[in-house]
Structure 1
Amino acid sequence: MIIGYARVSSTGQDHTTQIERLKAAGAEKVFEEKLSGLDRERPELARALEFAREGDVLVVTKLDRLARSAAHLHEITETLDRKGVGFKVLDDASLDTTTRTGKLVFGILASIAEFETALRKERQMEGIARARAEGRTGGRPKTVDEDHIRELKAGGMSVPQIVKETGVSRAAVYKALSA
Structure 2
Amino acid sequence: MAVVGYARVSSTGQDLATQIEKLKAAGATKIFEEKQSGTDKGRPKLRECLNYLRDEGDTLLVTKLDRLARSAAHLHEIVEGLNAKGVGFKVLDDQSLDTTSRTGKLVFGILASIAEFETALRKERQMEGIAKAKAEGRTLGGRPVTLDHDLIRSLKAEGRSVRQIAKEAGCSPSAVQKVLSN
Instruction: String of CA shifts for 1:12-40, please: whole Å, max 9, x gaps.
Output: 22211111111111100000111111122
Query: How much has 1:146 moved relative to structure 2?
Result: 3.8
Matches within 5 A, 1:44-123: 44-52=45-53, 53-123=55-125
Instruction: String of CA shifts for 1:17-71, please: whole Å, max 9, x gaps.
Output: 1111111111000001111111222111111111112101101111111111112
1:13 alignment counterpart: 14
State whether residues 152 and 162 of structure 1, in contact with CA within 8 Å, keep that contact through their aligned partners in structure 2.
no
Query: How much has 1:92 moved relative to structure 2?
Result: 1.0
User: Counterparts of 1:4 and 1:107 in 2: how far apart (Å)?
Assistant: 22
Instruction: String of CA shifts for 1:62-96, please: whole Å, max 9, x gaps.
Output: 11111111121111111100010010111111111
1:24 alignment counterpart: 25
Mark the CA change 1:48 to 1:152 in structure 2 (over 3 Å): closer, same or farther.
same
Q: TM-score, normalised by structure 1?
A: 0.84
User: Counterparts of 2:26 and 2:140 in 1: how far apart (Å)?
Assistant: 51
Query: How much has 1:151 moved relative to structure 2?
Result: 4.3
State whether residues 60 and 90 of structure 1, in contact with CA within 8 Å, keep that contact through their aligned partners in structure 2.
yes
* Structure 1: unaligned runs, 5 residues or longer: 164-172
* Structure 2: unaligned runs, 5 residues or longer: none
Question: Is residue 144 of structure 1 aligned with residue 147 of structure 2?
Answer: yes
Q: Which moved more, 1:101-110 or 1:40-49?
A: 40-49
Mark the CA change 1:104 to 1:84 in structure 2 (over 3 Å): closer, same or farther.
same
Quote the RMSD (CA, aligned, Å). Answer: 2.1
Runs of 4+ that moved beyond 3 A? 149-163
Q: TM-score, normalised by structure 2?
A: 0.82
Matches within 5 A, 1:124-135: 124-135=126-137
* Aligned residues with identical type, % of pairs: 69
User: Counterparts of 1:57 and 1:150 in 2: how far apart (Å)?
Assistant: 69
Instruction: String of CA shifts for 1:80-131, please: whole Å, max 9, x gaps.
Output: 0001001011111111111111110010011011012112211221221232
Mark the CA change 1:6 to 1:135 in structure 2 (over 3 Å): closer, same or farther.
same
